[in-house]
Amino acid sequence: MGYKHDYDKILTRLTLILARLNDGESLSVKELSGEFNVSTKTIQRDFNERLRGFHLYQYKKRWQMQDGFSVEKTKSLDEQLVLNIIEKMTEDIGGKFATTSHKLLSKIKNKDFNPIYTKLNIEDISDKFEYIKTIEDAIKNKFELECTYTNEREGLFTANVQPLKIANYEGFWYLVAFRDSYVEKYYLKSIINLKLSKKKFTIDKRIEELLENSINIWFQSDTEPFEVKIYADETATKYFKRRTLPTQSIESLHKNGSMEFSIKITHEMEIIPIIKYWIPHLRVLEPQWLCDIISEELEIYLTKKENT
């Protein structure tokens, strides 16, 4: 019953927050934390993860709903949309996940028509289904795992790890785990000979927060987060107001539709691929050394292109 109670509290909180945003309010994480008697980290997670699809953005540390977007207040429609989205997401994952979820959802849904379409490009890991169940059990009960793995640095090796999360970054699945006091990321499909250990472990809460705030697989556990300030033109602003990055905070909005925002990262490669993808619509303002790295790499690219 504890799980249901927690779920009901989360659902009630999210519904109330959405209703207020839908009515045009701008909400503060700190104020909501006090109202609902939860941590600011929990409220920030609500916005960054649980409410990500509702066209929200943060301006001067207050969350708002994007102009022109509103939530349909029909309970039955909301329930149907949630089921449809879950089903389409598992179809994109494929394999045993899709088959199992379809059977479960078919017991709930009464309609064949599904207006939702998604394309997530998530790799199929159904061949690792048994491993995933073992990892899930280890994470839940705080048991270490023993596995064999290979990488460029160490070659083939056997490791005892403390599993933290099964994470999906950019469509690829990883086991995020402690090994020798460092957070390591293991590509799930490359793990073999996985065994559950009897040895228990504990987790530093700081690591949980680090995982929640990570943008991609490049995050570092032994580096203090640093701030990056970014300029977004009108084209990029529309996207980054709809789908905010973890820790993203809007610093200023301009009349021409552009904006400046900041994020906190632990490794430059958390943001460099995003900047490159959005060139010329994004530009690093601070720190200067990060801007210099991107400029140098672009110059190398252009030079090579001219010489081919």
- Give Rg (Cα) of the chain: 22
User: What is the value of pTM for the model shown?
Assistant: 0.57
CA distance 279 to 282: 6
Q: Which fold has domain 2-65?
A: Arc Repressor Mutant, subunit A (1.10.10)
Mean pLDDT of 268-275: 92
Higher pLDDT, 193 or 216: 193
Maximum average pLDDT range among 45-49, 134-138, 302-306? 134-138
pLDDT single digits (tens) 77-103:
455 545 555 665 566 555 555 666 665
Higher pLDDT, 108 or 30: 30
Per cent of the chain over pLDDT 90 is: 31
Domain 226-306 has CATH 3.30.70: yes
Sequence ranges of the domains in the chain: 2-65, 74-120, 126-202, 226-306
DSSP sequence for the chain: -HHHHHHHHHHHHHHHHHHHHHTT--EEHHHHHHHHT--HHHHHHIIIIITGGG-EEEETTEEEEPTT------HHHHHHHHHHHHHHHHHHH-HHHHHHHHHHHHHH-------------PPP-GGGHHHHHHHHHHHHHTEEEEEEEEETTTEEEEEEEEEEEEEEETTEEEEEEEETTEEEEEEGGG-EEEEEEEEE----HHHHHHHHH--STT--SSS--EEEEEEE-HHHHHHHHHSPPTT-EEEEE-TTS-EEEEEEESSGGGTHHHHHHHTTSEEEEE-HHHHHHHHHHHHHHHHHHHT-
CATH of 126-202, one of 2.60.40, 2.30.30, 2.130.10, 1.10.3470: 2.30.30
CA distance 24 to 22: 5
40: alpha, beta or left, given left = phi > 0 and alpha = psi -120 to 50? alpha
- pLDDT score for 160: 92
Query: What's the mean pLDDT when you consider all of the chain?
Result: 80
pLDDT single digits (tens) 147-175:
999 888 888 989 899 998 888 887 888 99
- pLDDT score for 103: 59
**Chain centroid to CA 168:** 8
pLDDT grade, residue 259 (50/70/90)? very high
pLDDT single digits (tens) 99-123:
666 656 665 555 454 555 555 567 7
Say whether pLDDT at 23 is over 70: yes
- pLDDT score for 252: 93
